[in-house]
Amino acid sequence: MNNLNSNLNTNLFKKLKRFLLSKSKYNFLNFICFVISISLTFNFLTWIFKSNWKVVTSNLNLYAFGSFPINEQWRPLFWFFILLSITLITIYGPKWNWLRKNLLFGWIGTVPLGIYLLNGGFGLDTVMTRNWGGLTLTILITSCSILFSLPIGILLALCRRSSIFLIQKLSSFYIDVMRAVPLIAVLFFGQLLIPLFLPVGIEIDRVWRAIIAFTLFVSAYIAEDIRGGLQSIPKNQIEAAKSLGLNKFQINIFILIPQALRVALPAITNQLIGLFQNTSLMSILGLMELLGVSRSILANPEFIGQYIEVYIWLASVYWLFCTTMALVSKKLEQKMTINKGF
């Protein structure tokens, strides 16, 4: 190890030469690992350059929008553009105070905007949800579930710490049940059982049933993350707030929740990235989100057998979005910890 560390600043060629010529027994192992990894990378790269990417390039529209009517595809495209710009502003934007304060409302606003653009109405042609698909649908399910599950999670966490016996037990029971059931079961429940429970005449659309199921599931986990954050706040904070005459509600809103969210942010990010990936489970239940669309493309006789290309492409798309989410959350964390000197 020492040998390697001291060489970090010299150039690659010198490093290699010393690496191969030195006679430590560890270096022999190192050499073998090196050769294996180089050859693997080389094979992978040659495979990437040799294989036919037509299955990806000729279907980009499908991956992005599913079977959204071609004339209306500017709508999800416009929504992507808005999302991209607000992401870039969050990560690289200027540090003006008014901008930073209103960014949260910007993020919240993207969700109703997306629903409006996809669904239509009020001057736009209505598009049925069965035509929503691809990356658009994946992002829509994720963002709606995030928007709903965060406040519900906060509420559940507060209820679980409530001094009222019934509320506390109900909330604990809900959280424990949701954590004990696999996600796929909750999703099946959402798709198959919710319609049975509803009174005749009321129907909830498939996409919305999926969003409800994800919200039910994720909010239980978020509640536990936030409860951890709440427990990390020292008791003297509550005493100070009490001595100033704040009531319980005000203490929660102004003192506890802002501090708890700060502590729980890394864990919540984890949940939300998991949520984004888990939306792919909906393809099993027949929704045409990113994975669902890809499976239907693979079923096309023209592209038969090109699994590897499609799945590598999918992996990189998921990677791109999850990394972006992680970056945004890292930015938020920095803003909270450095500026606020916590």
- Given candidates 17, 169, 179, 242, which one binds other proteins under the rule CB under 8 A? 242
Binding mask 272-291 for other proteins (x = CB under 8 A): --------------------
Which residue's entry shows tokens 């290699």?
Answer: 16
The least distance separating other proteins from the CB of residue 158, rounded to whole angstroms, comes to 17
250 counts as binding other proteins under rule CB under 8 A: yes
3-class DSSP assignment, residue 205: coil
| Cβ pair 101, 339 in contact under 8 A | no
Quick one: which of 179, 181, 201 has its CA closest to 189? 181
Q: Which residues pair with 134 in a beta bridge?
A: 289
- Given candidates 24, 202, 236, 301, which one binds other proteins under the rule CB under 8 A? 236
Quick one: which of 287, 286, 312, 323 has its CA closest to 56? 312
The piece of 19-27, 247-255, 280-288, 315-323 that touches other proteins (CB under 8 A) is: 247-255
151 counts as binding other proteins under rule CB under 8 A: no
Binding mask 112-131 for other proteins (x = CB under 8 A): --------------------
Cβ distance to other proteins smaller for residue 71 or 247: 247
243 counts as binding other proteins under rule CB under 8 A: yes
| Cβ pair 298, 310 in contact under 8 A | yes
Cβ distance to other proteins smaller for residue 31 or 254: 254
342 counts as binding other proteins under rule CB under 8 A: yes
Distance between CA 4 and CA 161 in Å, rounded?
52
104 counts as binding other proteins under rule CB under 8 A: no
Distance between CA 290 and CA 272 in Å, rounded?
17
162 counts as binding other proteins under rule CB under 8 A: no
For 177, the token pair is: 């049940």
Distance between CA 203 and CA 230 in Å, rounded?
38
239 counts as binding other proteins under rule CB under 8 A: yes
Cβ distance to other proteins smaller for residue 295 or 333: 333
- Given candidates 5, 9, 11, 247, which one binds other proteins under the rule CB under 8 A? 247
245 counts as binding other proteins under rule CB under 8 A: yes
How many CB atoms sit inside 10 A of residue 107's CB?
17
- DSSP states along 35-87: HHHHHHHHHHHHHHHHS-THHHHTTHHHHHHTT--GGGTHHHHHHHHHHHHHH
237 counts as binding other proteins under rule CB under 8 A: yes
262 counts as binding other proteins under rule CB under 8 A: yes
- Given candidates 254, 307, 311, 319, which one binds other proteins under the rule CB under 8 A? 254
244 counts as binding other proteins under rule CB under 8 A: yes
The piece of 58-66, 236-244, 280-288, 323-331 that touches other proteins (CB under 8 A) is: 236-244
How many CB atoms sit inside 10 A of residue 195's CB?
13
| Cβ pair 303, 169 in contact under 8 A | no
Interface ranges with other proteins (CB under 8 A) = 236-237, 239-247, 250, 254-255, 258-259, 262, 339-342
